[in-house]
Amino acid sequence: MVRPLAMMYTGENVRLAFSERIPDYENYVFSYHVWGFLEEGEGVRIAYEQGFLPSQYDLSRFYLARSIRIKLQEFDKNGRIRYVERKCSHIDQLLVERHEFDLTEDWGSVAHRYFDAQAVRAEYRRNRFFEMLDSSISSHVSFFTDGRTGKPVGFVPVLIRDGISQYGIPVYDPSYRAIEIGNHMMAATLFRLRESGIDHCYLGLCYDTNSLYKTRFPGMQFFNGSGWSQVRAELHFLLKHQDMLGEHHLLNYPPYVEEYGELDPSSLIARMTS
């Protein structure tokens, strides 16, 4: 008999597979990586709303993780966004369908210069970017040019489907970093998506402080395992304590229970359905 490495059952709208990871028998901690698969004919919105992100560029498989999204009905230009917008007042933006964006040599050069300037996992991220750009996860491209010269500045793949969106890997000319072009690209794209009637924009993972820039927008929510939370203190708690869990699962980690207790079954169900 073949020993199964994953078990599957059908949950509400998403089929789930639990792929076993290395066990910690000494501390009785046994972990599974949760994969999600859509039922035939179902839209990707269902997976995103339940905390999943795509792990395959053809959107055939998703994974459950701590991620960030922006509720666009609550997104607006706060003081920080307007400050960066003034610094980037000469930058023009367009959001177009992927087939309308011509990846010329000049645009390709922007991407390569961006990754050449990266110090961490540059080649991996470069490969992922170009794979993403030519996949089903890139239905649109948000691109930015210098209005004074027409020079390409930056661009990012965007998925728009079923009333939701995902902001992909952004690239930009490193010479524009001084005007905070990365922050401007994200904020301007979020504003354009809100104008288009999109409900949420998913910004990816948040497992280190370098990802906190994603949280600085009005309407921020993060997936905490039982639902979408707007409590920034909880997210900062998780970032601070995630490497201290040791022999614990989060829900039996004393500092978490003390701060966010009420872990009886009825309270957990309430959290998951709220």
Q: Where do runs of H (alpha helix) occur along 90-136?
A: 105-116, 122-133
Residue 120, token pair as written in the block: 């961490």
pLDDT at 6: 43
Amino acid (one-letter) located at 64: L
Residues 153, 141 contacting (CB under 8 angstroms)? no
Q: What is the mean pLDDT of the chain?
A: 88
Q: Report the phi/psi class of residue 219: left, alpha or beta, with left for phi > 0 and alpha for psi in -120 to 50.
A: left
pLDDT at 161 over 80: yes
pLDDT at 196 over 50: yes
Q: Give the residue with greater pLDDT, 120 vs 267.
A: 120
Confidence of residue 7 (pLDDT cuts 50, 70, 90): very low
Confidence of residue 32 (pLDDT cuts 50, 70, 90): confident
Neighbours of 169 (CB within 10 A): 19
Find the helix or strand (DSSP H, E) in which 261 lies: none
Residue 173, token pair as written in the block: 């000319």
Confidence of residue 215 (pLDDT cuts 50, 70, 90): very high
34-43, 88-97, 105-114, 144-153: least confident range? 34-43
In the chain, % of residues over pLDDT 70 = 89
Confidence of residue 251 (pLDDT cuts 50, 70, 90): confident
Confidence of residue 271 (pLDDT cuts 50, 70, 90): low
In the chain, % of residues over pLDDT 90 = 70
Amino acid (one-letter) located at 26: E
Alpha-carbon distance of 33 to 19, in angstroms, equals 5
Residue 85, token pair as written in the block: 């917008």
Q: What is the mean pLDDT of residues 28-35?
A: 84
90-94, 114-118, 177-181, 223-227: least confident range? 223-227
pLDDT at 3 over 60: no
pLDDT at 265: 52
Q: Give the residue with greater pLDDT, 202 vs 259.
A: 202
Q: Which of 272, 225, 262, 215 is nearest to 245 (CA)?
A: 225
Confidence of residue 34 (pLDDT cuts 50, 70, 90): very high
Going from the C-alpha of 175 to that of each of 125, 133, 151, 180, 260, the distances in angstroms are 20, 23, 12, 10, 44
DSSP conformation letters of 17-60 = EEEE---BGGGTB--EEEEEEEPTT--THHHHHTTEEESSTTSS
Backbone angles phi, psi at 157, to 5 degrees: -70, 140
pLDDT at 259: 82
pLDDT at 10 over 70: no
Confidence of residue 202 (pLDDT cuts 50, 70, 90): very high
pLDDT at 274 over 60: no
Alpha-carbon distance of 29 to 216, in angstroms, equals 34
Q: What is the mean pLDDT of residues 49-78?
A: 95
Q: Give the residue with greater pLDDT, 14 vs 157.
A: 157
